[in-house]
Amino acid sequence: MRIHILGIGGTFMGGLALLARARGYDVTGADRGIYPPMSDQLRASGIAVFDGYDEWPVPAPDMVVIGNALSRGNPAVERVLNSGVAYVSGPEWLAHHVLAGRFVIAVAGTHGKTTVTSLIAWILAEAGLDPGFLIGGVPQGFGVSARLTESPFFVVEADEYDTAFFDKRAKFVHYRPRVAVLNNLEYDHADIYPDLGAIVRQFQHLLRIVPGTGLIVANGADLALADVVAGGVWTPVEYFGRDDGWQAQPLAADGSAFAVRWRGQEVGRVHWSLLGRHNMANALAAIAAARFAGVAPAVAVAALATFPGVKRRLEVRGTVGGITVYDDFAHHPTAIKATLEGLMARVAPARVLAVLEPRSNTMRQGVHRDTLGPSLAAAARVYVYAPSDIGWDVAGALAPLGPRATVYTDHEALLRGIVADARAGDHIVIMSNGGFAGLHGRLLDALGPTS
């Protein structure tokens, strides 16, 4: 079967392409402006990718998988509809061609989905269960965002964003998980959801399809998730972050070591490369989900010690003249704050310089303007790129930070400003959910030879 994937550069659709290839299908795709790590992954896989949507593969595809970033008016979408070729959304294709009949562990939440999904996959792999997975990032230990195996276990990052222009349900309702992890819940995706209540309803739809013989793993400290569960649950629930469930007792200020407790009893101690209290919570969620899949907590704890991290999650891109440059996917104030505070706990009294591109639809609409400044408060210096069409006063939102914050409308000026301020011992965190015009590499080049 020949499959053509529209929007193949996204982490979900790019991973889907790898799974389709593993199924033996002939796979092509199309997108605009693909950037690493997905561009590298697709190139390495040998999947032909068209730049833009005007070209069409020859011979013609038997089926077209359409990503949720595409809408009516896109030339490829119009060609699909006019030609009558079979088409399907990415989540629906995944459900029928990969997930059917498998033990599915789905990880949902506003923050930490990629990390928790990667952690669960890593634990199951270290336990010898050889899981398949589809992750919205590239776990360092696996080197790919998706893998298909003969194992019954499959771990999927479960996004609440809508499915496609022709299916406005949340992606995750297609996955029919046996285990659903609810990591946290805040308002996001302002382009499709009017308020937090609308997202809560989508999570309640997810809970309705988890079987009674399955498990729900939920953040017990999250009030919005309490509202989700209050809407009805037909499945056993295990909480993390609560006395009657899974808890983490810090053994190091930066979160690099902690004791794991289950209902008050210590079941192991984690010493790992990740940092921050948010990652301690992520670990608890992963341990709980893996336990239901048959992995003892002691085995899971040992696996976490070898977890090498995820690309674009506080990933060190290089060190130049004593200056360390990181790439991080954070694009919501809660994630920005957690990332900066976690790094500060590790490197203080060194300076942390934060560089932000407010690129997400929610951020561009100004939904987080009141919380953006406080989320960056831990940084010694803040540099924000604000395109001319962003539509809200970024400088005004950062005014509480005083002279520590500078807003730029030009990438070159932004680069010069960072280079002028940086000094040996600094840690520079570049935060964006996009390519940021290749700023990471350009900054390292401008600072000098990497070490």
Which residues sit opposite 270 in a β-bridge?
A: 258
Give me the average pLDDT of each 10-residue run along the chain (451 residues).
Answer: 94 93 95 84 89 93 96 96 96 97 96 93 97 92 93 96 94 97 87 89 96 97 93 96 94 92 95 89 97 97 91 85 89 84 88 88 72 88 87 86 91 93 94 84 86 54
pLDDT at 366: 67
435: number of Cβ within 10 Å: 15
| Token representation of residue 435 | 């390519």
Task: Give the helix ranges, DSSP H, for 127-264.
Answer: 196-207, 223-230
Name every residue whose Cβ is closer than 8 Å to that of residue 321 and which is 6 or more positions away in sequence. Answer: 424, 447, 448
Question: Given this model, what pLDDT does residue 188 score?
Answer: 80
d(CA 126, CA 182): 23
Q: 89 near 166, Cβ under 8 Å? A: yes
Q: Closest by alpha carbon to 355, among 261, 443, 291, 252?
A: 443
- Please name each of the domains of the chain with its CATH number: 2-90 (3.40.50.720), 101-304 (3.40.1190.10), 315-447 (3.90.190.20)
- What is the reported pLDDT for 61? 96
Neighbours of 258 (CB within 10 A): 22
Contacts of 176 (CB under 8 A, 6+ apart): 95, 99, 104, 209
Task: Tell me what pLDDT residue 361 has.
Answer: 67
- Report the amino acid identity of residue 45: S
